[in-house]
Amino acid sequence: MERIRIKSIVESILFLATEPLDVQKVAKILEVDSQEVKSCIEELKQEYLQQNRGFLITEQENGYVLVTNPENSGYIREYFDLEQKYISLSQAAYEVLSIVALKGPITRQEIEKIRGVSSENVIKSLIEKGLIREAGRLDTIGKPAVYEVTSLFYTSLGIKDIDELKEKILKIQKEDTSN
């Protein structure tokens, strides 16, 4: 298969994917080496950057995603009236989201122990918004569910994984203490 065709297919999959692109799966479908797929993704990444395109390709811990260029976020927010959607997160939702991001996978009981209040409805709301998901169940009495943040959470923050989030938090803390 020609390289230009591979890049075209990879770009289409990235555009339509709701989960991060799995390089191995794409390589198997296209019957090419996974390094070829990675190389095409890297080329696309560079093309988007050099041409200051409306999309960027970011790597997350479980694959690649196509995201909008952060420089365009204000216009996108205005066009789609996203401010209203962001405002709909309550203080409790931000608290639970922070706990799940930094401590996850974590059970509802552990979240409630940290917060000191019931969090069941907040967890349901965050699941509905696609920001957290059930990541499995513990093999203990009652088999409680454990929760983790989703790729949408990472994408909406423009980061690839929890380590990058922690780095950003540390950077902000350093800036705050130096002011």
Q: What is the DSSP string of the chain?
A: --HHHHHHHHHHHHHH-SS-B-HHHHHHHHTS-HHHHHHHHHHHHHHHHHTT-SEEEEEETTEEEEEE-GGGHHHHHHHTTHHHHHHTS-HHHHHHHHHHHHH-SEEHHHHHHHHSS--HHHHHHHHHTTSEEEEEE-SSTT--EEEEE-HHHHHHHT-SSHHHHHHHHHHHHHHHHH-
Short-list 161, 103, 95, 162, CA closest to 123: 95
**pLDDT tens-digit map of 116-162:** 999 999 999 999 888 899 989 999 999 999 999 988 787 777 777 78
According to DSSP, the β-strands at 63-68 and 106-107 are unpaired
**pLDDT tens-digit map of 15-37:** 998 888 999 999 999 999 999 99
pTM over 0.75: no
User: CA 85, 86, 92: angle at the middle one, nearest 5?
Assistant: 115
Short-list 158, 149, 102, 86, CA closest to 123: 149
pLDDT at 179: 64
For the chain, give the percent of residues with pLDDT over 70. Answer: 94
* Sequence ranges of the chain with CATH classification 1.10.10.10: 3-72, 89-178
Looking at the domain that runs over 89-178, which CATH code has it been given? Answer: 1.10.10.10
Write down the architecture of domain 3-72 according to CATH: Orthogonal Bundle (1.10)
Q: Which two tokens stand for residue 150?
A: 């989703």
Q: Which residue has the higher pLDDT, 22 or 174?
A: 22
Average pLDDT over residues 37-56: 94
pLDDT at 39: 96
User: Number of C-alpha atoms within 13 angstroms, CB side, residue 100?
Assistant: 27
Which amino acid is it at 152? L
- 63 in Cβ contact with 90 (< 8 Å): no
- 108 in Cβ contact with 101 (< 8 Å): no
